[in-house]
Structure 1
Amino acid sequence: MTSHSDTTDTAPATAGSCPVRLTPELVEDPVGAYAGFRTRSELPEVVLPGLQTPARLVTRYAEVKAALTEPRLVRDRSRVPGGADGADPQAELLEAALGGFPAEYARYVAGHLALLDGPEHARLRTPLTRAFTARRIAALRSFVERTAEDLLRGLAARGEADLLGEFAYPLATVVVCELVGVEEDDRDRVCAWIHDFAYGDGSRTVDGLVGIVDYTKELIARRRAAPTEDLVSALIGAGHDGGEPLTEDELVSVVFLLISTGITPPALFLAHAVLALFDHPEQLAALRADPALLGRAVPELLRHVSLVRIGASMYATEDFEFAGTALKKGETVTVALLAANHDAEEYGETADRLDITREFGRGDGHLAFGHGAHYCLGAALGRLVTSVVLDQVLVRRPGTDLAVGRDALEFGHWPGDGFHLLRLPVRF
């Protein structure tokens, strides 16, 4: 872990100055270094926590949004004409995440849509977009409500529980299993594999990976023979509607995409959103007094928390100027989504405050789900689950509160990112 002393200088950069080494504390602080970065005439060059390779960091809302739709910034480094020289921060992150996995299984996790561009990205994303219909997501509401209530009933009977480990993670896991189409008789063992792979103690990560891959291949074979109403059946059926069918390997990779992006990030967001309301008791009181504010509270919490603080690496395909900076071909650029979502140029003088009465304009009103071609496929599901959880945990159970002092909460972090809760003890 990088020390605080590595990044005390946030003054404007000068020619030839060293990259700023960001700590996890600074990455997750919506003011901190970002406020200084936004005043610079050029994009700052930074090294993200736990990494060694510098990248240009975009922090202003308008420029983050522009970067996410800039065709000369690509996610797939191999698409840089003539190749890109030097180290690659994205490769560092993948090595940290996949280094201990058997190659024949790691490829399913590495084939991430977030790292693809252009026609290949569109080919894989299109059937998934078609399968993520509004009807399919809306149909999940009653399942999410039932599952959340069942989990909470048992936890509340005990009087105290870890809202992250004993509620948010299990809820997100079961919702993904339901969406994918994991059959009821298989659910316990598949959920156990997902736990081991996605958020266990690390001792059985490879076993979880192998179990999920082998089961997903079995499920694909079953759905080819007898389709149902689940997502896997819809993805298989996409090839029958004039589109290019996904291969078995691509279907397995899609399931891992759903597990990787649909469990840990949403579960952590739910815990951090609840904590944000605990940290702002006047906002929590307002929500409990007027549950109709949920419609505004959900997007405001997405903006304020911005669980994914730093976006995927992008690479310049040519020399060009962006955000006042002369980028060189192959140079790495990344976006600070948390910084953008707290930019006073976009949100005014209340940018750094949590305000569940905040009114947004058209669209999301924030960049927590990204923007452009890589906009989060699960955004609608994320909003649905967040609304259900806030209602059931905080509104219907008005006595829910932290079970420990704020300074007793435990946090961890991953390379390239800020701090995340390890557990959230609450009493009911």
Structure 2
Amino acid sequence: MTTENPVHLTPELVENPVGAYAGLRTRPGLGHVVLPGLNAPVRLVTRHEDVKAALAEPRLVRDRSTIPDSEMPDPQAELMAQGADGLPPEYAQYLSGHLALFDGDEHTRRRNPLTRAFTARRVAALRPFVEKTARELIEALAEREQADLLGEFAYPLSTAVICALLGVDAADQDKVCGWIRDFAYGDGSRVLEGLGGVVQYTKDLVTRRRAEPADDLVSALLADGGMADDEIVTVFFLLINTGITPPALFLAHAVLALLDHPDQLERLRAEPELLGRAVPELLRYVTLVRMGATLYATEDFVFAGTGLRKGEAVTVALFAADHDPAAYDAPERLDVAREFGRGDGHLAFGHGPHYCIGAALGRLVTGVVFEELLVRRPAAPELAVDRADVRFGHWPGDGFHLLSLPVRL
């Protein structure tokens, strides 16, 4: 493959671990591809070992602005331009301050206060709230002939958890969750209203928590003192963007994967002690974020057998890595009893300095949902439509994602 003739990936290819990726893995070096909906070519890393190495390689950075005088194609800029279309400039700082886009000392400065505030105790303390919220949502939906497990369960649950974590007052949660829905996963008609509502509410919340601290993330960040007020507002959007839509979609995709593998669902229900293995296996099998952030070479150097030029764009295919037969036995098979070695056993939460801050919370919520929805109930959920009628859409640069998951509970 050459830059002149890159492989044009489609959403179907991006989400097929056995298809295009198998061919890309067996080629020497890193081939050029064009991701779905984009035009700029990028070097694609598909092998598990190479993906881990890329995510820990200091000469591959996230912030293109630190590499001057490069005229190499930039798929990340193309992707962000699509997402920022029509966005008022005064809000740009809150959405462009994403931790994933910084490196080195600046990344450490922004991440450390959040890491210090995101304690194991704070995450564990959320378990009763997650259990109560999940049960109430399930009970309400179980009374209906059918329900959308994504829109009416996974999204509301993920949103409520983030609101509780940040410290949104109980009386304000419906209002704030409405703004988040409008901004993050509604029909798009009220994005700006949702964005404005969240920004103003978070600014007011920072002011209130400075005067009267509580046991929540915003108060902890203020006490830490490592972030300016506007950076705390940015954290709110970081958690909305990474702590709501990806976890909600993962929960729905994981349930669909189990419905597609009824033998595995039945085994999990019969042996609930397998939950500890099923969670990482489903994280691996689904790998909701198929493509990682764009990385840029800070200098000319050889990586994974390929000569990279300064400023050249590289993207890691997390989904491909989590289905690499060199790393897993029969990776295309869902196995709720699969045993992993030390660590996560997958790359769904990333690797290296940008490893997902919310991984522990994600594991907690997933474990609670599987227990409440799949194990404790007298009967497992069933699809309420034919499998062929389950609706999917896709975002630029990525594979297909569920638009809804109609089930009977």
Distance in 1, Cα, partners of 2:198 & 2:73: 32
Alpha-carbon offset, residue 44 of structure 1? 1.0
Alpha-carbon offset, residue 16 of structure 1? 6.1
Partner of 1:261: 242
Alpha-carbon offset, residue 188 of structure 1? 1.1
Partner of 1:37: 24
Q: Secondary structure at the match of 1:420?
A: strand
Partner of 1:310: 291
> What are structure 2's unaligned runs of at least 5 residues?
none
Retained in 2: the 8 A contact 1:77–1:83? Answer: no
Residue of structure 1 aligned with 2:347, choices 345, 367, 372: 367
Retained in 2: the 8 A contact 1:196–1:202? Answer: yes
Alignment of structure 1 residues 347-366 onto 2, 5 Å: 347-348=328-329, 350-366=330-346
Retained in 1: the 8 A contact 2:73–2:313? Answer: no
AA paired with 1:319?
D
AA paired with 2:325?
A
Shifted more, 299-308 versus 100-109: the winner is 100-109
Partner of 2:211: 225
Distance in 1, Cα, partners of 2:186 & 2:290: 22
Retained in 2: the 8 A contact 1:316–1:331? Answer: yes
Alignment of structure 1 residues 178-197 onto 2, 5 Å: 178-197=164-183
1:425 aligns with 2:388: no
Distance in 2, Cα, partners of 1:16 & 1:404: 44
Residue of structure 1 aligned with 2:364, choices 367, 372, 384: 384
Partner of 2:12: 25
Residue of structure 2 aligned with 1:46, choices 30, 33, 44: 33
Q: Secondary structure at the match of 2:57?
A: coil
Partner of 1:3: none
Q: Secondary structure at the match of 2:289?
A: coil
Partner of 1:206: 192
AA paired with 2:332?
D
Shifted more, 103-112 versus 130-139: the winner is 103-112
1:177 aligns with 2:163: yes
AA paired with 2:52?
K
Q: TM-score, normalised by structure 1?
A: 0.94
Retained in 1: the 8 A contact 2:3–2:32? Answer: no
Alpha-carbon offset, residue 399 of structure 1? 3.5
Alpha-carbon offset, residue 192 of structure 1? 0.4
Partner of 2:50: 63
RMSD: 0.9
Partner of 1:10: none
Alpha-carbon offset, residue 159 of structure 1? 3.3
Partner of 1:234: 220
AA paired with 1:157?
E
> What are structure 1's unaligned runs of at least 5 residues?
1-12, 240-244
Distance in 2, Cα, partners of 1:250 & 1:382: 23
Alpha-carbon offset, residue 87 of structure 1? 3.5
Q: TM-score, normalised by structure 2?
A: 0.98
Retained in 2: the 8 A contact 1:190–1:212? Answer: yes
Residue of structure 2 aligned with 1:144, choices 110, 127, 130: 130
Partner of 2:80: 94
AA paired with 1:188?
D
Q: Secondary structure at the match of 2:327?
A: helix
Residue of structure 2 aligned with 1:393, choices 363, 373, 376: 373
Alpha-carbon offset, residue 294 of structure 1? 0.5
Retained in 2: the 8 A contact 1:174–1:191? Answer: yes
AA paired with 1:215?
Y
Partner of 1:325: 306
AA paired with 2:158?
A
Partner of 1:416: 397
Distance in 2, Cα, partners of 1:107 & 1:19: 34
Distance in 1, Cα, partners of 2:51 & 2:294: 13
1:216 aligns with 2:202: yes
Partner of 1:74: 61
Partner of 2:324: 343
AA paired with 1:132?
F
Runs of 4+ in 1 over 6 A off after TM superposition: none
* Counterparts in 2 of 1:204 and 1:16: CA distance versus 1, 3 Å: closer
Alpha-carbon offset, residue 315 of structure 1? 0.3
Q: Secondary structure at the match of 1:127?
A: helix
Distance in 2, Cα, partners of 1:133 & 1:174: 19
Shifted more, 387-396 versus 287-296: the winner is 387-396
Distance in 2, Cα, partners of 1:378 & 1:102: 29
Paired-residue identity, %: 67
Alpha-carbon offset, residue 83 of structure 1? 3.1
Retained in 2: the 8 A contact 1:56–1:332? Answer: yes
Distance in 2, Cα, partners of 1:357 & 1:16: 42
Residue of structure 1 aligned with 2:259, choices 278, 299, 317: 278
Distance in 1, Cα, partners of 2:227 & 2:4: 48
AA paired with 1:140?
L
Alpha-carbon offset, residue 37 of structure 1? 0.4
Distance in 1, Cα, partners of 2:15 & 2:149: 21
1:168 aligns with 2:149: no
AA paired with 1:427?
R
Residues 273-302 of structure 1, C-alpha deviations (whole Å, 9 max, x = no match): 000000011100100101111000000000
Distance in 1, Cα, partners of 2:249 & 2:86: 24
